[in-house]
Structure 1
Amino acid sequence: MNLDLTGKRAVVCGSTQGIGKASAIELALMGADVTLIARDEQKLKNVIQELGGKGKHSYLVADFTSPETLKQKITEFAATNAIHILINNTGGPPGGQAIDAQPEEFVKAFSNHLLCNHILVQAVVPSMKKEKFGRIINIISTSVKIPIRGLGVSNTTRGAVANWSKTLSLELAPFGITVNNVLPGATMTGRLESIIKTNAQKNDKTFDEAKADMIKEIPAGRISEAHEVAAAVAFLASPAAGYINGVNIPVDGGRTGSL
């Protein structure tokens, strides 16, 4: 099985922590040249030092709350660098019921996720077509299969990204480009810790009690680590995954109650 990414350039968003960082590490170990994108330059420098492999690694400082700046930076980078792999990964919007959300909350989430993802795709696809190799992987959420209570804006936005992704998979397949989604379940990241704290406060429980309640819903009996989700991302980015296209792959320990 060909998992070698030597000579391939991977752009990884949200890569200074959590699943994004873990994905960057896995891709580097598979031989890819990795370009990190995040808003904190010092954290980017720190992650660069952690990347293994023999690739030439770099970073771009960009904030997804400023789509025009992101567009400028990724367009300039893509003009002089062939990009073969794009990992779209953005932190989710705050929790809350959909009915209580203000319109501007949906607009902000739509911009941070779908619009910024689209800007990145438009910038990298020309080189993917030229190289006749492309992997676009969107890290979303299992909420695209079953909505998660208390994450109204996130559920709505993630669903839009999933449908956008499926559409792109049909349009780009003839050029050797695949577009897939990885759907993390409960993964021990800063965002999950925040969700557990919120659940604990809402139900008058301790953090450990709220965490135990969450684990009870997972057939695997535990919360995953970021590197386990990153393993799925890395495989989809490899030459071996060239015929996998347009799918949503849950990495959730069997928690999602749908096919």
Structure 2
Amino acid sequence: MDLGIAGKTALVLGAGGGLGSAIAAGLGAEGARVAVADIDLCAAESTAATITGAGGTAMALAWDLGDLSLVEPNISSIEAKFGAVDILVSITGGPPPGGVIGHDAEVWRKFFDSMVLSVFAITDRVLPGMKARKWGRVITSTSSGVISPIPNLGLSNALRSTLVGWSKTLAGEVGADGITANIILPGRIATKRITFLDEKKAEREGRSVDDVRAESLAAIPAGRYGDPSEYADVVSFLASTRASYVTGSTIRVDGGYVSNV
């Protein structure tokens, strides 16, 4: 199936590893020119090298999403090299585990800036070009916690839920311009983040990591953790011309893990 995105410019945030790296590689394999952004420049360069090594086109950017002053220069550098951004895939780092009670206001501000406000600002920067071309894709990766809050991930549950309301509203405002806006959320995908969360849960509950992992696997109808490439494939479809009538949606890639209707 031709996804129709060869030659399009894609910006993938948080693409130095895990889900972001897989998404960037997937879009690169479809012929998109990929701007790989990450707070860790070496990690971004590694992902970009993987894409170019496979015959694709990519550039790496050091991008601390908590620093909003970087939005203009980084977008401008992408435009200078690849042209205006057609596809924006936003993935922001997860905050530390913990509840929602007792955090200092500065903690909320710090993670709101990097996880939420950065996405708003970057999207606002690329939307005028998308509107002018009457084509664009705004894809925002969140967490299954926006559907069913995850215990001990209070900051993530609260802040990522903000992105869902924003994306749904955005879809209504830009649909007539040929732009789609969708939320995609992972279940238990085999990344370093999931390994970290499994380890923290085991430590907190005085159990082995193997026991925690086995409990998670038993709750997943597919019987396994997902592969990052499986998540990336769904993003590639949402970024494609074939997905032109999919907008304002929240799409789970979780092997049936989240039981909520």
Q: Shorter-chain-normalised TM-score: which range?
A: over 0.9
Greater Cα shift, 195-204 or 19-28: 195-204
Indicate how the Cα distance of structure 1 residues 79 and 50 shifts in structure 2: closer, same or farther if over 3 A, else same.
closer
Moved over 4 A (4+): 52-55
* Structure 1 equivalent of residue 46 of structure 2: 46
State the Cα deviation string for residues 50-108 of structure 1 (Å, max 9, x = none): 11565432122111121112343224544772211000001111110112333222211
Aligned to 1:193: 195
Contact 2:35 2:78 in 1 (8 A): no
Partner Cα distance (2:118, 2:72) in 1: 8
1:11 matched to 2:14? The reply is no
Q: CA deviation at 1:189?
A: 1.1
Check the 8 A contact 1:189/1:226 in 2, yes or no.
yes
Deviations along 1:22-69, one digit per CA (max 9) or x if unpaired, are 000110111111111112222222211111565432122111121112
8 Å contact kept, 1:5–1:32:
yes
Q: Within 2, Cα distance between the matches of 1:156 and 1:71?
A: 28
Name the structure 1 match of 2:63. 62
Name 1:124's counterpart in structure 2. Answer: 126
| In structure 1, distance between residues paired with 2:59 and 2:201 | 38
Check whether the contact 1:78–1:127 (CA below 8 A) recurs between aligned residues.
no
Equivalent position SS for 1:183: strand
Counterparts of 2:43 and 2:160, CA distance in 1 = 26
1:37-186 equivalence runs, <5 A: 37-51=37-51, 54-75=55-76, 77-78=78-79, 81-186=83-188
- Listed as ranges, the gaps of 5+ residues in structure 1 are none
What's the C-alpha RMSD, in Å, of the aligned pairs?
A: 1.6
**How many residue pairs end up in the alignment?**
259
Q: Which amino acid aligns with 1:220?
A: A
Q: Using the alignment, how far apart are the partners of 2:58 and 2:133 within structure 1?
A: 20
**DSSP 3-state at the match of 1:98:** coil
* C-alpha contact (below 8 Å) 1:6/1:55 kept by paired residues: no
Distance 2:76 2:120 in 1: 12
**CA shift for structure 1 position 168:** 0.7
**TM-score, scaled to structure 1:** 0.95
User: 2:92–2:115: 8 Å Cα contact kept in structure 1?
Assistant: yes
| Equivalent residue letter for 2:44 | L
Structure 2 unpaired stretches of 5+:
none
For 1:51, what is the secondary structure of its paired residue? Answer: helix
Partner of 1:136, secondary structure, is strand
